Amino acid sequence: MKAELQPAATPSKRISFTASPSFVYVLVSPLFLILLAYVIYPLFETFATSVNVDGQFTWKNYARFFSLEHTANLEALWNSVYISVLSVITCGIVGVTMAFLLERYEFPGRKILSVLALVPMALPPLIGVLSFTFLYGESGIFPRLFKELFGLEQVPFSLKGIWGVVVVHTFTMYTYFFMTASAAIKGLDPSLEEAAASLGANRFTVWRRVILPMLTPAMVASSLLVFMISMASYTAPLIFGIDRTMTMQIYLSRTNGDLDMAATQSTVLSVVSIAFLLLMRWYQGVRNYQNMSKGISVHRTEVKSKAGRYVCIVLAFIGIVILMLPILVLVLISFSVDGTWTVQILPPQYTLDHYIDLFTDSKTWRPIANSLELSAIATVGIVLFGVAAAYAMVRLRFRGKTLLDVLIMLPWALPGTVVAVNLIAAFSEPTVFSFGQVLIGTFWIIPLAYFVRHLPLVFRSTSATLMQMDPSVEEAARNLGASWWYSFRRVVFPMAFGGILAGTLLAFVQCIGEFVASILIFTPRTMPLSVAIFQRMYTFEFGTACAYGVLQIVVIIIVLFISRKLAGDKAGTAV
């Protein structure tokens, strides 16, 4: 049945500019421009530096890097890979075991332990390493304690060298395995195991054929992540004096003024990191069999036997102590009088001065003010960019989405050392992107580095929230007569606020704790908190350094607590 049609009132189509399908590209172009300017261009400049010797295009630097005569670089590459593989193994064992014990068994101390298990996340990298050297290093509390107790000539053990690095990595990075494994175990529907058992599978078969295959995706993803972070690790090798790792080589080349080599090493490390990023993305696209069932309830097996309970209590207590010691030792030393702790087990004299100085002595207060200011500026940029990019990613249709996603995640995959070297390569001369200014040596280079390094945080948390938000809610607003801007302000933003704020707080604390890039680009005027801690350590002002550290941890714990409250557990996984 065909209807009579009235003649058109307006014969010409009123396709407005904003309704045209290519308008979306006008909207997303600033995002690409920012990424081009501050991620791609610096990356390219570093590469350009590495293949440019005396104005000539040459692969000479790479020949030097891979040369078998001077093997320093190859050794560094090997050491980095070696440390990373070891870290993956140890983190995997610790993280998965803890996840299973805490998710599947009920025993005294379980609740407190599962909260404390995330403590290492609250430690900025530098603080974590320092507390470990205080506790277990050559002049650390425990080696000396055992030496004293048993009347030995030498300390019986101490944390040093590659194993020192691996232990620190294990402590700080097992949380990645722990979190993904916990989530995977929580997502395991017990009825699947029951189904397998009812079909005649014994306990071992259930494990081999049902549970392990279902955990594999989580394990592979965490392995890739830990490997990548270990490759990028800088602080632990620095403190334990392992010069032959990639990040340390870059740092040393840079401080020795061998910029070509630093650029070459950075490029090699970038290639490894980018390869891993792409591998992770690919793998996350492939894996897809969690949470098919609804309404999962986890049954925890209760530890019933008396002996079992005692063993559990003791183990839980040891676990709690190990997790809390790094923070406790920092607090302890933060009260010690600088220069008095020499050969004793514990610092002999205590004072409150360091904390008073933090807020009263302008010289001590300066780095705190710097960090707050630098981080606040960077965070504003991260939020503006992150919210816009997340909205574009989730809601707009355009070609190049995958590219945008990869470009945003790229700076997160790049080691901080590499980010710093890239920025140095790009902005030691005036460029269009720095509005014709030299940025190196100025105030602005540090916020820029923070911005680039923590770019993905707000993006991730916001896009996670937006993805959960039903797109028809926004359509409803538009249908009721709201313009795009009105519905964004009144509907989208308020609904995504929790996610945005969680990401913002997280980005802010990450900026406060940032050390790796800062150490390469800070100026005396802009010295941030973490660099100040490092310098105080080197002048043996342990008390002040630790007071700074405690301040950082307090800020971080408060912020993490707030952001968890705001966004449930979702934003915690944004890292």
Tell me the C-alpha distance between 120 and 557, whole Å: 11
What string of H, E and C letters represents the secondary structure of 19-73?
A: HCCCHHHHHHHHHHHHHHHHHHHHHHHHHHHHCEECCEECCHHHHHHCCCCCCHH
What element of type H or E holds 302? strand 301-302
Closest to other proteins by CB, 209 vs 490, is 490
Least CB distance to other proteins at residue 19 (A):
5
Least CB distance to other proteins at residue 484 (A):
8
Q: Report if residue 68 touches other proteins, rule: CB under 8 A.
A: no
Q: Report if residue 4 touches other proteins, rule: CB under 8 A.
A: yes
Closest to other proteins by CB, 330 vs 477, is 477
Query: Quick one: which of 58, 202, 360, 479 contacts other proteins (CB under 8 A)?
Result: 479
Q: Considering only the stretches 15-23, 122-130, 348-356, 520-528, report the one whose residues sit in contact with other proteins under the rule CB under 8 A.
A: 15-23
- Which structure tokens are listed for 488? 């964004």
Least CB distance to other proteins at residue 398 (A):
13
Q: Report if residue 5 touches other proteins, rule: CB under 8 A.
A: yes
Nearest to 392 by CA among 2, 16, 1, 33: 33
Q: What binding mask, one character per residue, do residues 459-478 give for other proteins by CB under 8 A, x or -? A: -----------x-xx-xxxx
- Which structure tokens are listed for 269? 């490390």
Q: Report if residue 491 touches other proteins, rule: CB under 8 A.
A: yes
Helices (H) and strands (E) in the chain, counts: 27, 4
- Which structure tokens are listed for 250? 């870059």
Closest to other proteins by CB, 13 vs 304, is 13
| CA angle centred on 256, ends 253 and 258, rounded to 5° | 55
Tell me the C-alpha distance between 558 and 545, whole Å: 20
Closest to other proteins by CB, 153 vs 470, is 470
| CA angle centred on 403, ends 398 and 405, rounded to 5° | 95
Least CB distance to other proteins at residue 470 (A):
6
Q: Report if residue 8 touches other proteins, rule: CB under 8 A.
A: yes
Least CB distance to other proteins at residue 492 (A):
10
Residues that bind other proteins (rule: CB under 8 A) add up to a total of: 34
Query: Quick one: which of 67, 191, 216, 483 contacts other proteins (CB under 8 A)?
Result: 483
3-class DSSP state of 382: helix
**DSSP conformation class of 491:** I
Least CB distance to other proteins at residue 434 (A):
38
Cα four-point dihedral sign 177, 180, 186, 190: negative
Query: Quick one: which of 315, 406, 440, 482 contacts other proteins (CB under 8 A)?
Result: 482
Closest to other proteins by CB, 337 vs 482, is 482
Q: Report if residue 27 touches other proteins, rule: CB under 8 A.
A: no
In 78-164, at which residue ranges do the beta strands (DSSP E only) sit? Answer: 105-106
Q: In one letter, which amino acid is 228?
A: M
Q: What binding mask, one character per residue, do residues 494-523 give for other proteins by CB under 8 A, x or -? A: xx----------------------------
Nearest to 330 by CA among 543, 561, 558: 543
Closest to other proteins by CB, 299 vs 478, is 478
Q: Report if residue 14 touches other proteins, rule: CB under 8 A.
A: yes
Q: What does the binding site for other proteins look like in residue numbers (CB under 8 A)? A: 1-6, 8-10, 13-16, 18-19, 470, 472-473, 475-484, 486-487, 490-491, 494-495
